[in-house]
Structures are given as structure tokens and as C-alpha cells.
């Protein structure tokens, strides 16, 4: 494949409610969409899942734009007409780190490559389902009100979501988890700390075992591998790693060391959908459950995530929520929950396109880049 140009579209999209986690609160989503135009005129789309500031990750919006323009796109100059997705991944790997920027650019090119072959991303990745079970991630109420939390969770339960994930942090953990479990004794329930705890909290978090949780997601800092081993030994609730997982090798290490028994796969965090598939394949060989995490994606990123989540090893509901969970207006036709599931797109590539007038209305900045 040859690259004619890359367009970057920066969007500002209000969230339907503030989303608070242990590392901060978002009220407006800063979105970067990558549009790739190949030499034969095919357009492909990818989404960069960075935040506007380096809170969740060292990557953030401005840095992703800079690294794509200054380093990633130039690394693709030597691609020839026969180059495919693996060639793109190899070319991008000369740049160390920056997986979210790599994922956005490589997904746009993968989308264009698949569209040129009239093949869907789901088929290319090896999906075996046409619908995926959906969970929902519930942020910490800005008021820190249990009543407000229960009201929000109740809306998602009534909507049909098949799993609830509660964001927790020190001081917001035992009481909210207990309240939700008391209100819904049978719903699959899990927590996500986003690295907010320390090794010394292991026995404290073990007190959550009584609530029959699916898992604790990333309780400790991403570089504290031994701490996660200790946490796994202290808690009956399985430990899941998220921010620690950047490759198939790191997933293998997590499982081998006993730091985690479940892996959350986020394509943006691991550099793209090819690496996400590699991690899935490794975990499936190891009989380790995986699920697809989310980063408040628009329909562009959501379409690709739903295709990934249709692979056979994704046995737990992911954060592939409906568009209405985050946005009143999505940039694509909305993804709508039906019986707790989303349909896997079947069209070429990721199977969706931005709605031109919505894209124009939400865009606050754009630029064109060429690989010369």
C-alpha cells in the first residue's frame, strides 16, 4: 500500500456526564481521528485514544500529533505498493513507545487496506461471533454520593448491560461496592482502581472478596509487578492487569509470574489490533480469560473494538458500551445496545464512517500530512 496523505481531525465532544476515575475527571472528550488516503484513493479511519493531558499515560493529544507528524509517518516512507499490515507494524516499531499514536495511524491504514480488499476487520482478526456482550464502566460520582451511584448503575442495569465495573480509589471502595452488590446480588461486578493502591493495601482490598467480584483491575502502579503477585496471593478475587500490559511478552510475564490471571486488552495501549490479537492468542493458549477495555471511544474506535471483542478468547464482557453511554451525538451512526449486546460491523474495514456534517461540527482543528 502507498500512502497519499494523512488527515488528522481533532474533535471536542461533551460527555453525557463527567467521568471521574482515580487519576482525574473528564467532562469533554478530546478526540483525534486519523484519516488515511492511499494511493488508489481508498480512505481509512483510526482513533487515537489519548487524553488531553498526561494523566492516564505519558501520551496525550498534542504529543500524539507531534510523534505522528515528526516520526511515525516518516517511518512509513519506504512502504511499497505490496506492503501490508505487518509491514506497517514493523515500520512503526522503529519508534520506541507511543502505542496510542501507533494504533491510530496503523488502524487507519489497516482500515484502508481491508476496504481495498472488501474484507471486514472482524473477518481479518478471526472473529467468531456476530454480537458481543457489553459491560459498562461506572465512574466515581463527582458528589461521592452512594445514592447517585446507585441511580446511575440502575440506569445501566435497566438498559441491559451484562456487567458493571466500578471505578474505585482509597476512600471510595468498600461502601460503594457493598451498596451495589446489595442492590444487585447477581449481576457480574468488578472494580477498577487505575493504579490507585499500594502493596500495603493488599489485606484491605481482600475485604472486597465477600462481594463475589469478577476481578480487580490494575490495583497497583503499572511497574509494580511483584506487588501484583502479592495482591494476587492476598485476594481471592482474581487480579486483572491493564496498564501494565503493553505486548504479548508482558501478558506472558503477568500470567507466568502470577501477577494476574486475567488480561484486559486495549488496542490503543498495546499499539494496535495486530498486537491485540497476538495477546489474545497467547492468553487463549494459556486458558487465561481476556476482555476488551475501552477509552471512551467514538464510533470509529468502538467499531474496531467490537470486532476485536468477537474473537473466541474474549469470554468476559468488555467496556464496549453503546454510544449513548458517553455521547449524545456520536461521530458515526450510533452503536445501540440490544439485549445487552452490540452487533459486530460487517462492512469492509472497520465497517463505519464518520457522518460528514457531524464530523465538521465537532472538529476544532485539522491538518494534512504527507509522507515525503
Kindly report the three-state secondary structure assignment for every residue of the chain: CCEEEEEEEEEEEEEEEEEEECCEEEEEEEEEEEEEEECCCCEEEEEECCECCCCCCCCEHHHHHHHHHHHHHHHCCCCCCCCCHHHHHHHHCCCCCCHHHHHHHHHHHHHHHHHCCCCEHHHHHCCCCCEEEEEEEECCCCCCCHHHHHHHHHHHHHHCCCEEEEECECCECHHHHHHHHHHCCCCCEEEECCCCCCHHHHHHHHHHHHHCCCCEECCCCCCCHHHHHHHHHHCCCCEEECCCCCCHHHHHHHHHHCCCCEEEECHHHHCCHHHHHHHHHHHHHCCCCEEECCCCCCHHHHHHHHHHHCCCCECCCECCCCHHHCCCCCCCCCCCCECCEEECCCCCECCCCCCHHHHHHHEEEEEEECCC
Q: Which listed residue (29, 89, 167, 228) is catalytic?
A: 167
Q: Is 102 a catalytic residue?
A: no
Reading the block at residue 339, the C-alpha cell is 439485549
Do residues 189 and 180 make contact, with C-beta atoms less than 8 angstroms apart?
A: yes
Which of 266, 277, 280, 325 is catalytic? The answer is 266
In angstroms, the CA 198 to CA 355 distance is 45
Strand partners, 120: 349
Distances (CA, A) of 301 to 33, 179, 231, 368: 9, 33, 32, 21
Cell representation of residue 140: 466515581
167 is catalytic: yes
Select from 132, 187, 191, 190 the least CA-distant residue to 156: 187
Hey, which residues are catalytic here?
A: 167, 266
Amino acid at each position: 500500500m502507498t500512502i497519499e496523505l494523512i488527515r488528522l481531525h481533532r474533535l471536542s465532544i461533551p460527555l453525557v456526564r463527567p467521568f471521574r476515575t482515580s487519576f482525574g475527571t473528564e467532562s469533554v472528550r478530546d478526540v483525534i481521528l486519523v484519516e488515511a488516503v492511499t494511493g488508489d484513493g481508498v480512505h481509512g479511519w483510526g482513533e487515537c485514544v489519548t487524553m488531553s493531558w498526561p494523566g492516564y499515560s505519558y501520551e496525550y493529544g498534542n504529543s500524539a500529533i507531534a510523534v505522528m507528524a515528526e516520526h511515525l509517518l516518516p517511518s512509513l516512507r519506504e512502504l511499497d505498493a505490496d506492503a501490508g499490515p505487518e509491514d506497517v507494524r514493523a515500520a512503526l516499531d522503529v519508534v520506541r513507545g507511543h502505542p496510542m499514536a501507533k494504533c491510530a495511524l496503523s488502524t487507519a491504514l489497516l482500515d484502508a487496506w481491508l476496504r481495498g480488499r472488501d474484507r471486514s476487520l472482524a473477518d481479518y482478526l478471526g472473529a467468531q461471533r456476530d454480537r458481543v456482550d457489553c459491560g459498562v464502566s461506572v465512574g466515581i460520582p463527582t458528589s461521592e454520593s452512594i445514592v447517585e451511584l446507585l441511580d446511575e448503575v440502575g440506569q445501566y442495569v435497566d438498559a441491559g448491560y451484562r456487567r458493571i465495573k466500578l471505578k474505585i480509589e482509597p476512600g471510595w471502595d468498600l461502601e460503594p461496592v457493598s451498596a451495589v452488590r446489595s442492590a444487585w446480588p447477581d449481576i457480574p461486578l468488578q472494580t477498577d482502581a487505575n493504579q490507585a493502591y499500594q502493596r500495603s493495601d493488599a489485606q484491605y482490598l481482600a475485604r472486597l472478596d465477600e462481594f463475589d467480584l469478577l476481578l480487580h483491575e490494575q490495583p497497583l502502579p503499572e511497574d509494580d509487578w511483584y506487588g501484583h503477585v502479592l495482591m494476587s496471593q492476598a485476594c481471592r478475587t482474581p487480579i486483572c492487569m491493564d496498564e501494565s500490559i503493553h505486548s504479548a511478552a508482558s501478558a506472558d510475564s503477568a500470567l507466568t509470574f502470577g501477577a494476574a490471571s486475567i488480561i484486559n486488552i486495549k488496542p490503543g495501549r498495546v499499539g494496535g489490533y495486530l498486537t491485540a490479537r497476538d495477546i489474545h492468542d497467547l492468553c487463549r493458549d494459556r486458558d487465561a480469560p481476556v476482555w476488551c477495555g475501552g477509552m471512551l471511544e467514538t464510533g470509529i474506535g468502538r467499531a474496531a473494538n467490537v470486532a476485536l471483542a468477537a474473537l473466541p478468547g474474549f469470554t468476559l464482557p468488555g467496556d464496549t458500551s453503546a454510544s449513548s453511554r458517553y455521547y449524545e451525538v456520536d461521530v458515526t451512526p450510533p452503536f445501540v445496545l440490544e439485549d445487552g449486546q452490540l452487533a459486530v460491523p460487517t462492512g469492509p474495514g472497520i465497517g463505519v464512517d464518520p457522518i460528514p456534517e457531524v464530523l465538521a461540527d465537532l472538529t476544532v482543528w485539522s491538518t494534512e500530512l504527507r509522507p515525503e
